Amino acid sequence: MLLRSMSVENYRSLRSLRIDTADVNLFIGENGVRKSNLYRALQLVQSAMRGSFARDIAAEGGMSSALWSGARRAGKAVRICLMTELIDEERAITFRYRIEAGLKPPAAAGFSFEPQVKEEELSVETGRRPVTMMKRAGPSIAVRGEHGRLEDYPGEAMQSETAVSLLGDAGHYPEIGAVRRAIGQWRFFHGFRTDRDSPLRAPCLAVTAPMLDEEGGNMAAVFATLYHTREDTLDLDRAVASAFGGAKLEVPPPGQFAEFALVFPEFPQRPFLPRELSDGQMRFLALAAALLSYRRPPFIALNEPETSLYPDMLPALADMIVSASRDSQIWIVTHSERLAAAVQERCGVRPRRVVRKNGATSIDGMRLTGSLDGEDE
């Protein structure tokens, strides 16, 4: 399933925005325009699928922090609204999921600043009119049953939990399960710890790792899986050599733990262990594991991947992004003009410039339909 569009209203600095998505989506903007909120909004859709929507909003400061931060109309309740459209191209099916959340009413049960899910809807379209598969209003849920009719679900959802996660766990609703599985496989790489105690620098248990965990703790196992299971490391070897002046990874066959080292051409007999590498070198290797893993996620989001990288590493990073885009949708948020230009040169994608006007984050030249001026050309 491919993400074909996203819409967001009243989330942080995002007043109202709709974006059509492509295979590679490149967003560039200055510091302070709140471009990372685009990334966070998509991450919250995944949180809804996983059942961690309320917890993840609470972790970023609660609803008082997550709600639209600009001027509001007096007397009108403000809700966060997120919507995604996914297309299963093989079966020609379009899935649309929408969730609305707000603060609890003064007399209602629940904690003061946790999100209250007000509405949810999942619809499916197969070439005719959309068919609602699940609809939720407050705690009440209606779901399309085996006879093809919307029926009241016997249970009620707590105000802070999502119906899509509750019903998905039930195992009786294949359309809900399909969307949950697809979005649950997305990977969001917001940043990697590179301090002395970072999990990137430690050996990890030798368990086959087809893709990188979001915190990067299984990076050594990802490399070992590429070298000793897939036995195809052409893209990885090329990226490492390009970024590090001809260096190569040394990945011994794993025993109880998987480990790796970096060998530089000027010191061919002296492997450098992860604890000896710089923050920029470790971050690049983590990005390589994220983008070039044995099994690439269907959707990979990178938030400011250029952070801590040396400028001469950016062309190699762009090469990895283009390589990963053969199998994955890519979403990049950056403030690096050089990285944006390198990605554009390699795959022809037009960067979308993120701006802030009257307190609201938007895309320069974005139409209300979600496409950019001149994109049709």
Q: 377: pLDDT confidence band, cut at 50, 70 and 90?
A: very low
Q: In the chain, pLDDT over 90 holds for what percent of residues?
A: 77
Strands 131-137 and 80-88, by their bridges, are unpaired
pTM of the model: 0.91
> Could you tell me the end-to-end alpha-carbon distance of the chain, in angstroms, rounded to an integer?
26
Q: What tokens were used for 149?
A: 């009719």
- pLDDT given at position 213: 95
Span 126-135, average pLDDT: 90
366 beta partners: 372
All residues at 6 or more sequence positions from 293 whose CB lies less than 8 Å from its CB, including other chains: 209, 210, 211, 212, 222, 225, 226
Q: pLDDT for 25-67, tens place per residue? A: 999 999 889 999 999 999 999 999 999 999 999 998 888 889 9
- The Cα–Cα gap between 358 and 222 comes to 45
- Identify the pLDDT of residue 212: 97
DSSP of 219-236: HHHHHHHIIIII---HHH
Model pLDDT, residue 372: 59
Query: Confidence band (pLDDT; 50, 70, 90) for 108?
Result: low
User: pLDDT at residue 179 above 80?
Assistant: yes
Domains of the chain: 2-11+38-186 (no CATH), 189-349 (3.40.50.300)
pLDDT for 298-335, tens place per residue? 999 999 999 999 999 999 999 999 999 999 999 999 99
CA nearest to 68, candidates 77, 80, 56, 58: 80
**Nearest one of 68, 71, 87, 78 to 17, comparing CA atoms:** 68
> Hunting for tokens 């690096």 — which residue is that?
336
b/e burial code for range 241-278 (CB count within 10 A of at least 16 → b): ebbbeebbbebeebeeebbbbbbeeeeeeebbebeebe
Residues 10-28 have pLDDT tens digits of 999 999 999 999 999 999 9
pLDDT tens-place string over residues 241-286: 999 999 999 999 999 999 999 999 999 999 999 999 999 999 999 9
Average of per-residue pLDDT across 73-101? 90
Pairing outcome for strands 2-11 and 14-20: antiparallel
Contact, 133 vs 175, CB < 8 A?
Answer: yes
Identity of the residue numbered 277 = L
Chain-wide mean pLDDT for the chain?
A: 91
The dihedrals phi and psi of 234, each to the nearest 5 degrees, come to -60, -50
